[in-house]
Amino acid sequence: MHPLLARPGAFAVYLIAWVPLTAILGALLVLAGGMTALEAAVVSPLLTGVYAFVCLSSWYLCVAFPIRTSRLFSLAVTLTVASVVAASLWVLWGATLGGLLALAPPFATLPEALRRATLVVLLLGILLYLLAVALHYLLAAARDAKEREEREVELKSLARDAELQALKERLNPHFLFNALNSIGSLAASRPEEARRMCALLADFLRTTLGLSGKAEIPLSEEIALARRYLAVERVRFGDRLGFTEDLDPAAADSLVPPLLLQPLVENAVKHGIARRIDGGTLTLVTKRFGDRVSIVVENPADDDAPPAAGTGLGLVNVARRVSASWGDAGRFSARRVDATFRAEIELPART
Amino acid sequence: MASRPLGVVIVDDEELARELVREFLVSHGDVAVLATCANGFEAVEAVAEKKPDVLFLDVQMPGLDGFEVLELVERDAEGRPAVVFVTAYDQYALRAFDANAVDYLLKPFDRVRFDMALERARSRIGAARPAAPAAPLREGPLRRVVVKAGTTVTVLPVETIDFVKAEDDYVLLSAGGKEHLKQQTLASLEDALPKERFVRIHRSYILNLDRLNKVEQGDTGAPTAVLADGTRLPVSRAGAQRLNEILGR
């Protein structure tokens, strides 16, 4: 939709701007064409009235040739051709108008006067058309700026949603309740261990809350958080929960949104290892190859779970965050292969 | 009653959680902890062997969950222990009372609250126990069926069940050529199984649709379901109608 036609107020301002232009045209017709004041007063509004609408067409030119991406040469050629064509049509319209008006006796000399002013009208037409182009490029720029702003706001709110969701999961009450129950149990029999568990839990919560304000953190910090979480869960599950890691130092500084990995680690414990009688080992592997980083979380799957499992809400959120952060450049997959559940994030390395 | 100690079995997959219950029980001189179990299978076995008066039962455990343990214990002729659920999740409370649990302890809990639960359990022992409801509350359709033969507990994911046959007060579950007997009515099992997969094809049969190969018209005009492994099951008129509906013919 044309931005001026879309808003009646703006369109009125545009038309009013043509009033002084009409006066200038009239003056030129008198000076260059030798018209009488009456002739010029009748002809020039009829000329500019039509040309005001012709100039609106430059909007589509602006849309087709965005100023940022078009090559200067092709832009110059296009604008020249378009303005000359528009101005020529205007001259032609003037000649037609003159012919019609000459049928009335007071305007008998009008065609002759218009012919004398042809060059002036043509040049003015080109100038006015180029002015209209400039105006429309400004309108396009304003529109783009507004759209960009809206997109940024949307992206920000998506990121905030994900962060809130992650925080909620973080303060997952069952995790807390179970940890507190462990502390209660240790308090009587092994008070020293109860204190250690308090410290571990506080450490984990403090780190989590500290992350919430940040847009991006190095992968190594995210992994440090996972270790703290697993330390708490190891007190609960004891030997049933094992943890091994194979970390590529070249991937450590790569930036990720905070709490990206955490849902995968929690899933592995909650839906995988905790559901197995003998427990199992969670494996965390990071690898950098070229300008890509891969993060893999693996755990032995729950024997009784249907093999299709892996579409849980936590995993959907991870997928959403990966695509919000990296678009098509980020990849996320989570599936069960035989007895192993494997979640992988692949992302562009950025430090 | 006072002469005999109160027999207790503790079931929780976390060692620290088991320890806490045990510790709270120490101050009660008339209580004997008969067994502590780390999963549902051990629990079913311990209850059958030790016949406890009170069972402290976690809900989320590997293998069998607390409700499945209860379901298997329920069928024992000797009567069931008084059950106190112990969990960090409050969303199972309704189901727990529906299953006639005497109390529902939310982790973490203190000694005062624990003693209250023990008192409730104590007062329930010997009292007439209301019958379990025909259709216990459940979250969505059944995902697996638990059966017990002697002390052996088998977990059957529903997709492994080929068909179910009614046998008096029992159902016979056929899965991969093996048969499992379970004390339950066919109607209540039909109700619990996922509707898109299981169809009551006959007064005495429920069929897993994935196993259906074809339906044949016999000489007498009575249709017969032929399964992928060649098993033939009778189909009633109402059953044929249900089959047609679900298969969209």
The reported pLDDT for the residue numbered A316 is: 81
Give the residues across from B232 on adjacent strands: B226
Q: Looking at residues B49-68, what average pLDDT do you find?
A: 91
The reported pLDDT for the residue numbered A310 is: 46
Put simply, whether A236 touches B (Cβ < 8 Å) is yes
Calpha distance A167→A205 (Å, rounded)? 10
**Average pLDDT across chain B, whole number:** 87
Report the chain A residue with the minimal C-alpha distance to residue B38. Answer: A277
The reported pLDDT for the residue numbered B1 is: 47
Put simply, whether A306 touches B (Cβ < 8 Å) is yes
A209-219 CB burial, b ≥16 within 10 A, e <16: eebeeeeebeb
The reported pLDDT for the residue numbered B132 is: 54
Identity of the residue in B20, B60, B89 whose CB atom sits nearest the CB atom of A184: B20
Query: Binning pLDDT at 50, 70 and 90, where does residue B134 land?
Result: very low
The reported pLDDT for the residue numbered B74 is: 67
Put simply, whether A237 touches B (Cβ < 8 Å) is yes
Q: What is the DSSP string of A251-308?
A: GTT-EE-TTSSHHHHHHIIIIIGGGSTT-EEEEEEEEEETTEEEEEEEEEPPTTS-TT
Give the residues across from B198 on adjacent strands: B208
The reported pLDDT for the residue numbered B129 is: 55
Share of chain B above pLDDT 70, in %: 90
Contacts of B59 (CB under 8 A, 6+ apart): B65, B66, B67, B85, B87, B89, B92, B96
Query: Binning pLDDT at 50, 70 and 90, where does residue B208 land?
Result: very high
The reported pLDDT for the residue numbered A155 is: 73
Task: Tell me the helix, strand and coil percentages in chain B, rounded to 5.
Answer: 30, 30, 40
The pLDDT of residue B249 is above 80 = no
The reported pLDDT for the residue numbered A116 is: 87
Interface subset of B 93-132, CB within 8 angstroms of A = 106-108, 110
Calpha distance A213→A146 (Å, rounded)? 26
List chain A pLDDT tens, one digit each, 351 residues: 788 888 888 889 999 999 999 999 999 888 888 888 888 888 889 889 899 988 888 888 888 888 777 888 888 898 999 999 999 999 999 889 888 888 888 788 888 888 888 888 899 999 999 999 999 999 888 888 988 888 778 777 777 776 676 666 656 678 889 999 999 999 988 999 999 999 999 999 888 888 877 888 999 999 999 999 999 999 999 999 999 999 999 999 999 988 889 889 988 998 889 989 899 999 999 999 999 999 999 999 876 665 444 456 678 878 888 888 888 889 999 988 888 999 999 999 988
Q: Are A315 and A257 within 8 A, CB to CB?
A: no
The reported pLDDT for the residue numbered A293 is: 96
The reported pLDDT for the residue numbered A348 is: 94
- Report CB contact under 8 Å: B88, A306: no
Distance from the B217 Cα atom to the nearest Cα atom in chain A, whole angstroms: 35
Structure token pair of residue A223: 């992994």
Nearest to B236 by CA among B214, B206, B211: B206
Put simply, whether B221 touches A (Cβ < 8 Å) is no
> What is the CA A196 to chain-centroid distance, rounded?
46
The reported pLDDT for the residue numbered B12 is: 95
Identity of the residue in B88, B110, B157 whose CB atom sits nearest the CB atom of A178: B88
